[in-house]
């Protein structure tokens, strides 16, 4: 119970931080920092898939509603990531460690494996996000830098947050 | 049992996922102006694709009735042209002797076509009720087909041009020389023009049209081209002709009547 409460609080804090980044920091058109993949990674792996999908949609929608962007973009990307979460975990984190970690954490999984996990998660999320946001009105020359820079920025920030969360535990 | 439960769970998950993604897409379309325009554009593209296919299908299904309508229109126009041509010829008759005129056309469809014997014939779906009479010619825009032999109320039989007894007066478009053309008795696309003087220069590929020196067929109907020439008796040449008309694929024809045929026949009898 305590662990679940802790997870809910952590996810809420991450979402609040995400909203602050969205609304008060304007790093330019090529950079969109998203902590939604990190927030999704905080959810225990034992969470039923249907509940995971619903929670991810709710997280994405919350970010959409309280941000200035187009409503539905984060919700669509987060819902897609909810389904991709398990395959990405199996792909990046070795089978023997799957049993001992309830969710991917940088200290338990190791930096390289965590980096691989969060990178693929952020790339997947950002690909959907940037595609839906530009949706044929922006050229590939804009889309590719935005997608890559935003993914890199999100990965770096997610790693920093993961280190912070792990040190608190 | 376990497999069924797994299938149901997977289905529920898939439905939930699709439902939420659709909700997200609807939110995007409703809240983003650019996204809405783009989505509407995609939808219109898809709609246009299906509309085009539907139009193609409808057009394809209406080919039969369109064909029928075009055929009727063709007959109507041919009759109008013929009428005006006749009037024009009448006007010219102040200076020149009148030619055969007053042709009228009746569109018909071939319901039977015998082409494998030496005495071939056709059956058309038009008869006395449609104005068809014995002795009328049967033509297409690219050749002569035959002469009406017998009529009933709704049908008529036609002695095909592919018949040893049939002759059609044709002329060479270059020299204007004319003569009787008859079937070669061998193929459905071959005929022979006889009686052209040997001094007339005829080359392979020269075209031939009906001469109009007949009560039955109107003038200037293209019939074929010269394939080969041979001199017979040292005085005349026989010209082998490739017919334009393919008798194996004959479907729509025109029965052509001459409004002055009785008068002309009477005159010819008296002579």
Cα–Cα dist B148/B141, whole Å: 18
Contact B17 A53 (CB under 8 A): yes
Contact A70 B31 (CB under 8 A): yes
Q: Does A76 touch chain B (CB under 8 A)?
A: yes
Looking at the domain assignment, is residue B122 inside a domain? no
Contact B104, B259 (CB under 8 A): yes
| Tokens, residue A63 | 């970010």
Q: Which of residues 75-114 of B touch A (CB under 8 A)?
A: none
Looking at the domain assignment, is residue B211 inside a domain? yes
Domain that holds residue B32: 2-61
Total count of residues recorded for chain B: 271
Looking at the domain assignment, is residue B28 inside a domain? yes
Mean pLDDT of A38-60: 91
Q: Which residues pair with B244 in a beta bridge?
A: none
Measured CA distances, A80 to A134, A137, A152, B20, B231 (Å)? 18, 22, 20, 9, 89
CA distance B39 to chain A (A): 9
Report the 10 Å Cβ neighbour count for A49.
Answer: 17
Q: Does A137 touch chain B (CB under 8 A)?
A: yes
Residues of chain B with pLDDT under 70: 1-3, 89-101, 271
Contact B179, B200 (CB under 8 A): no
Q: Which residues pair with B190 in a beta bridge?
A: B242
CA distance B54 to chain A (A): 28
**Three-state DSSP class for residue A158:** helix
pLDDT digits (tens, 9 = 90+) for A17-26: 888 887 787 7
Q: Does A8 touch chain B (CB under 8 A)?
A: no
Give chain A's mean pLDDT: 85
Looking at the domain assignment, is residue B47 inside a domain? yes
Per-residue burial over B165-194, b = 16 or more CB atoms within 10 Å of its CB, e = otherwise: ebbbbbbbeeeebbbebbbbeeebbbbbbe
CA distance B17 to chain A (A): 7
Identify all chain A residues contacting B31, using CB atoms and an 8 Å cutoff: 70-72
Complex prediction ipTM: 0.82
Among all chains, which residue has been given the structure tokens 């007339």?
B200
Looking at the domain assignment, is residue B230 inside a domain? yes
Domain count, chain B: 2
Contact A75 B16 (CB under 8 A): no
Whether residue A155 is predicted with pLDDT greater than 90 in this model: the reply is: yes
Identify all chain A residues contacting B39, using CB atoms and an 8 Å cutoff: 135
Q: Does A13 touch chain B (CB under 8 A)?
A: no
Whose CA is closest to B235, among B199, B192, B260, B203? B199
Q: Which residue of B has its CA nearest to A51?
A: B13
Looking at the domain assignment, is residue B89 inside a domain? no
Contact B24 A83 (CB under 8 A): no
DSSP string covering A7-36: HHHHHHHHHHHHHHHHHH----TT-----H
Looking at the domain assignment, is residue B129 inside a domain? no
Contact A72 B20 (CB under 8 A): no
Among all chains, which residue has been given the structure tokens 């017979």?
B232
Looking at the domain assignment, is residue B110 inside a domain? no
Tell me if the pTM is above 0.80.
no
pLDDT digits (tens, 9 = 90+) for B84-101: 877 776 665 444 444 445
Total count of residues recorded for chain A: 169
User: What's A86-141 look like in SS3?
Assistant: HHHHHHHCCHHHHCCCCCCCHHHHCHHHHHHHHHHHHHHHHHHHHHHHHCCCCCHH
Q: What are phi and psi of A52, to 5 degrees?
A: -60, -45
The last residue of one of the domains, among B44, B61, B78, is B61
Number of H helices, E strands in chain B: 4, 12
The last residue of one of the domains, among B61, B81, B101, is B61
Whether residue A102 is predicted with pLDDT greater than 80 in this model: the reply is: no
Contact A54 B13 (CB under 8 A): no
Q: What are phi and psi of A163, to 5 degrees?
A: -60, -40
What is the per-residue pLDDT for A137?
67
Per-residue burial over A24-38, b = 16 or more CB atoms within 10 Å of its CB, e = otherwise: eeeeeeeebbbbbbb
Identify the CATH number of the domain in which residue B208 sits. 2.40.10.350
Q: From the list B12, B13, B27, which residue is nearest A72 (CB)?
A: B27
């Amino acid at each position: 119970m305590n662990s679940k409460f802790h997870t809910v609080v952590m996810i809420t804090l991450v979402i609040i931080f995400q909203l602050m980044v969205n609304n008060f920091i304007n790093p330019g058109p090529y950079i969109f920092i998203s902590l939604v993949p990190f927030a999704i990674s905080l959810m225990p792996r034992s969470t039923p898939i249907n509940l995971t999908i619903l929670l991810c949609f709710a997280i994405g929608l919350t970010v959409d509603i309280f941000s200035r962007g187009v409503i539905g973009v984060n919700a669509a990307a987060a819902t897609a990531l909810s389904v991709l979460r398990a395959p990405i975990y199996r792909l990046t984190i070795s089978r023997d460690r799957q049993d001992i970690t309830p969710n991917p954490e940088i200290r338990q999984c190791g930096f390289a494996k965590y980096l691989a996990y969060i990178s693929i998660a952020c790339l997947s999320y950002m690909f959907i996000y940037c595609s839906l946001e530009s949706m044929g009105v922006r050229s590939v020359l804009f889309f590719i830098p935005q997608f890559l820079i935003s993914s890199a920025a999100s990965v770096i920030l997610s790693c920093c947050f993961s280190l912070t969360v792990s040190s608190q535990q | 049992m376990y497999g069924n439960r797994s299938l149901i769970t997977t289905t529920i998950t898939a439905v939930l996922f699709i439902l939420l993604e659709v909700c997200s897409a609807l939110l995007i379309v409703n809240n983003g102006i650019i996204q809405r325009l783009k989505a509407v554009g995609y939808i219109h593209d898809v709609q246009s694709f299906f509309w085009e296919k539907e139009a193609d299908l409808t057009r394809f299904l209406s080919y039969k009735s369109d064909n029928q309508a075009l055929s009727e229109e063709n007959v109507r126009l041919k009759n109008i042209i013929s009428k005006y041509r006749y009037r024009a010829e009448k006007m010219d008759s102040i200076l020149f002797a009148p030619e055969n005129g007053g042709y009228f056309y009746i569109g018909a469809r071939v319901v039977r076509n015998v082409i494998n014997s030496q005495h071939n014939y056709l059956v058309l779906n038009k008869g006395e009720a449609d104005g068809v009479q014995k002795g009328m010619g049967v033509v297409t825009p690219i050749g002569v087909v035959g002469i009406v032999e017998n009529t009933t109320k709704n049908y008529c039989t036609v002695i095909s041009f592919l018949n040893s007894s049939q002759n059609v007066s044709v002329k060479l478009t270059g020299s204007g020389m004319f003569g009787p053309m008859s079937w070669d008795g061998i193929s459905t696309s071959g005929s022979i023009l006889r009686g052209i003087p040997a001094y007339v220069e005829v080359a392979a590929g020269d075209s031939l049209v009906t001469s109009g020196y007949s009560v039955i067929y109107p003038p200037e109907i293209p019939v074929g081209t010269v394939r080969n020439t041979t001199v017979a008796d040292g005085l005349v040449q026989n010209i082998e002709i490739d017919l334009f008309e393919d008798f194996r694929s004959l479907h729509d024809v025109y029965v052509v009547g001459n409004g002055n045929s009785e008068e002309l026949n009477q005159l010819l009898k008296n002579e």
